[in-house]
Each structure stands twice: as C-alpha cells, then as structure tokens.
Amino acid sequence: MEANSEHIMKTADMLKILGLSSYEAQAFAALVYHGVANADTIADTAGIPRTSAYKVMESLVNRGFARETEGRPRMFKPEEMSTIRENFINDVNKLFDELRELQDVLPSKGDPQLVFTIYGRSKVMKKMAEMFDLTEKEIMIATPKIREIRTELKKNIENALKRGVKVIFITPPNKRVPQNTEVYRKDGLIATDVTSDDSRALLAGADLDACGYTDNPVLSLHVLQFIHMMINNDEIKM
C-alpha cells in the first residue's frame, strides 16, 4: 500500500479537475485502487478521517462516481470509467454552450472590445441617455435631431451639466439647444454621432432607429476625431 500512496495522491490531485473536493478525490482514487472496499478501508488508504469516510462515499455515489454494492457490510465500487467520462464530457459541453450563449449576450452589455448594433428608437435613446449619465468630463453630440434629444433627454442633460460635464452640440443653424451648453452650427448633418469622455461612442441613423455603439477607447477616438473635423471645417460657433 505504501508503495502506491504517492500515485494515489497524484491521481487525487488530478481528479479535482472534475470538481471533487480533496477528500472526495482521495477517496475515489483509493476506491479505484481497491476496486471494491468498505468506507474504513477507503479512509485508511486515502488518508482521510474515518468519521468522514461514509459521508464522503455517499457523496461520491450521489455524484455518479461510485456505486454501493448490495448486502452487508456496506461496500463501494467505482462507477464505470466510460460512464464517468461521458458524464464529464456532457457537463463540459453544456458549460461551453452556456458560455457561448453568454458571449452572445455580451455585446448588449457593452463589451469594451466590440462595436454592436442597437435596434429600435427607444433603445437608441436609452443608450444615449446612459451615455449622458456616465459622462464625467465632456460629451459631444453632432445631430440634426436636436429637438428630439433636447426634449427626451432633458433631465439627463441637466444632470450632466450639474455634475460639471461640458456638453457640446453640433447642430444645423437656427436649432435651439439646451441652456449652458456649447454649440457649433453645421449644415448638412444627417446622422447623429455622440462621444463621451473619449471612451464611448455612438453612431445613429437619420431616424434614430438604429445605432452602433462602442466603449472601446481606440474606436471612440476615431469618432471624436471625425466630430472635430466637422467642427474645424468652416465652423461657426454660437
């Protein structure tokens, strides 16, 4: 037995990858070594307390790693290795299916490495409101839809201004903007572009019914540079 103790412990350490506790892993390795054994023998071989042995073996049975033989005394033997392997593979496959589903959801959570599309006007406006609420220093909005934004996001804009956020609009001439904001006048605007703190950007269509959004600072910087180009090209600041 002593000659195999190191091998048993090494195997027990590897078994933890299957989600077994230290005692469960040691007990299962010992059970595989014996082929069939009672709880006391398993405890002695595995080096676990005898007072814990039955509880550990019952846990292995419940988890599909061991079976209890019929009759008395109570004896245990390992489940077929092919069955354990199949169950484990199924669990792993299920785990990765869940991870893939989670990965599909991540874009709507604003994964920083992605540009994702949001459909629906209410969702676009909600994302824009979120950008106002998250901004700490400066937000720039180039849009021909200033009336809609001014009206629907009134409270978000006011709260941003109260926090000391610099709010800059680029809009067509003769369009009213919220008080205490900076404005640049520009003809020919079609889309709505928004940047926030050089780290978030939104590009919406003419009707605000779809947009692309990113919180990748590198991509956001490109949008910011584009807005600055518009401002610096025949700009009129009001």
pLDDT in tens, 158-203: 999 999 999 999 998 888 999 999 999 888 788 899 999 988 999 9
Residue 236 scores a pLDDT above 70: no
Alpha helices in 119-216 (DSSP H): 121-134, 146-152, 154-162
Residue 230's alpha-carbon distances to 25, 41, 116, 149, in angstroms, are 66, 81, 24, 20
Report the CATH architecture of 2-78: Orthogonal Bundle (1.10)
* pTM beyond 0.75: no
Cα(199)–Cα(94) distance, integer angstroms: 36
Cα(138)–Cα(117) distance, integer angstroms: 23
Q: What is the pLDDT of residue 103?
A: 61
Per-residue tokens: 178: 């919220």
> Residue 210's beta-bridge partner residues?
119
Just give the CATH number of 111-237: 3.30.870.10
Q: What confidence category does residue 111 fall into, taking pLDDT thresholds of 50, 70 and 90? A: very low
Cα(30)–Cα(43) distance, integer angstroms: 8
- Where exactly does CATH 1.10.10.10 map onto the chain? 2-78
CB 118 within 8 A of CB 126: no
- Where exactly does CATH 3.30.870.10 map onto the chain? 111-237
Q: What is the pLDDT of residue 18?
A: 74
**Chain-wide mean pLDDT for the chain?**
84
CB 12 within 8 A of CB 22: yes
AA letter at 18: L
Residue 152 scores a pLDDT above 90: yes
Q: Is 5 exposed, middle or buried (0-12, 13-18, 19+ CB in 10 A)?
A: middle
Cα(138)–Cα(152) distance, integer angstroms: 20
Arithmetic mean of pLDDT, 145-157: 94
* End-to-end Cα distance, the chain: 89
Dump pLDDT digits (tens) for 31-90.
Answer: 988 899 999 999 988 888 988 888 999 989 998 899 988 878 889 999 998 988 888 887
Residue 3 scores a pLDDT above 60: no
